[in-house]
Homo-oligomer: A and B are copies of this chain.
Amino acid sequence: MNEQTIQRIRQFTKDRDWDKFHSPANLAKSISIEANELLECFQWSDTDYNLQHVKEELADVLVYCRDLLDKLGLVEDEIVNMKMDQNEAKYPVEKARGNAAKYDQL
């Protein structure tokens, strides 16, 4: 997300005085709620989905993720790279290739 988009999200919250609702717990709930509106696009079919709805709901997830990053003072690239370090260790290429099993069942 570029800096301009991030600023737009921050300004949106600030203009509405919504920061007071944005506790980490409420934002975590919100991410789950929006993730399930996204999931609803695929409720009865994996292939016959409305792309515009998918875009809107995925965007909602991303906006709340950004809000939570901000609230906790996190840097997106830092936490993602920290987690990718873990993922690469948990799923070694030779064991995980072509295999969707969870790391503890590889």
Interface residue ranges, A against B (CB under 8 Å): 1-2, 4-5, 8-9, 12, 15-18, 20-21, 23-26, 28-33, 35-47, 49, 51, 54-56, 58-63, 65, 68-69, 72, 74, 76-77, 79-84, 86-88, 91, 93, 96-100
Alpha-carbon distance between A86 and B57 when the two chains are bound, in angstroms: 12
If A1-B76, A40-B33 touch, whether A8 touches B56 (CB-CB below 8 Å) is no
Residue of B nearest to A41 (CB): B28
Alpha-carbon distance between A41 and B72 when the two chains are bound, in angstroms: 14
Name the prevailing secondary structure of the A interface residues. Answer: helix
Q: Are A82 and B61 in contact (CB under 8 A)?
A: no
Residues from chain B with a CB closer than 8 A to the CB of A15 are 93, 97
